[in-house]
A and B are shown apart, each in its own frame.
Chain A
Amino acid sequence: MSVDDATVRKIARLARIEIHEDKVTKMANELNGILNWIEMLNEVDVNGVEPMASAVAIALPMRDDAVTDGNIQSSILKNAPKADSGFFVVPKSVE
């Protein structure tokens, strides 16, 4: 599989990373280099193999339903670039 400039722009938008037009082709080439190298995985016979979802073969541990956290508004907002009256202030978004 290979990516062209249009695909790079699309992926960059999905990843919310701005790429200047004059860098798009370079990025496409770099990504293609990596993707071509990755192609060799197609040589492997993976018939009937379950994907390895986790290195740890245990069931999901569960916790009790109790309020043990939160109520730390000032800590939550401490590192905010912009906060007001207890809220995070972010650029206007539309529904």
Chain B
Amino acid sequence: MVFSSITFLYYFLPIMLFFYFLVPWKLKNIVLLVSSLLFYFYGEPKYCFLLFFSSIFHYLMGKWIERCSKKKGKLFLLIVCLLLNFGILFYFKYYNFFLESIQFFLPNSFSFLTITLPIGISFFTFQTASYVIDIYRGKILSSKNILHFMTYISMFPQLIAGPIVRYETIEKELKERKLSINEISLGIQRFVIGLAKKVMLADLLGELSQRLSDSAPSFLGLWLRALADTLQLYFDFSGYSDMAIGLGLILGFHFLENFNYPLIARSITDFWRRWHISLSSWFRDYLYIPLGGNRVSKHRYVFNLFCVWLATGLWHGASWNFILWGLYFFILLLLEKRFLFPFLNRHKWFGHLYTGLLILISFVIFNRTDINDLLLTLKGMFGLQSIPFLNREVLFYLKEYSVLLLFSIFFATPLLKIGYKKVQEKKKCQPVLTLLEPLFYIGLFLLCTAFIIDASFQPFLYFRF
């Protein structure tokens, strides 16, 4: 089930919230757990048990790691746990890719399996991994209540598309949390904003990208598609994170921010501080720092960075373009740290342009799983392919989607947020905002509903009867 569906918004959510707010405190986690499992079951019935058993397994492993008195024993248990955890991830996500890659060198040596990727496996695998590692490190105590732990792993707001929530972030709230009108209202506002990002911007940008992809290639068309893809990915993913954070607030949980206007970054380093923060901080804390971070020799430092970005690329998908995508950032970050930082700090506007351009290219790599297609696109974008500068289709779509693109670029910056804060600070505006804000959010929510419903429009034309 996705958040931007009628089934979720008008069936699952009201029923879930009704029971959640109706039952006494001690039963709220049960309601949350049952509804989360139903939420997962609805979209992925087969793998519901995988989620269920993964939760129980990590709960037990957490306890054993904590209870084990010997350091080596703790480490052994942790390794076993991580091997199993990432082994499951490898099987579902990377097994066929791995065989496919080996097959390149040894043709017809393997038979592939028909495997469906369980929804959200990359997210809950990383959550469970962080849980056992943090127990091993003594950073947190293992959960004393299996119900709380299973609620943490399967909590529907962040189950299928993140953010990657660490146990320490919501440990206290799993036991005891406060619900206030103010926070529920903030949660609703955040949820509606996220939904609007997804259905009113990202989906239309995706439509533009698809139309450009179906058009004859042209130089401007390829760059326009790169822009549409970048904005779509940002609004889609950050919109989903906003909805997750908003739902968390409605239910009394405070998840950490996952995006902070990444498209206004002044360097690639800055971009990764703002984009998918929960993932980059996960890799920092559980891979980069354990490898030694930057307090090592130069060669080792380069190796550490390489490992992190190879893993980051692979996390996003089992395909060579994702590995290339990760390595692309590895090279850029290395160059920045080694040479570019002083220059970028002195020339801020250049920094924005440079980052924007490199991010556009990065998402071209991200979006093309076919390497030949990727190479052709990159050649075309850099004038190395004999394609026209512009064609009638691109001109048409540019005209049709120009307002949407301008809106999207504007909303990708914090200008609206800054402006709104200034208005909020003015006392005169307070009474007007009190009335306008509810109207705005409700209107926006209804408009989002309209966008979702219109997506079901399937006219049946006479000549295709």
Q: Do the two chains bind? A: no
B contact residues vs A (CB 8 Å cutoff): none
A contact residues vs B (CB 8 Å cutoff): none
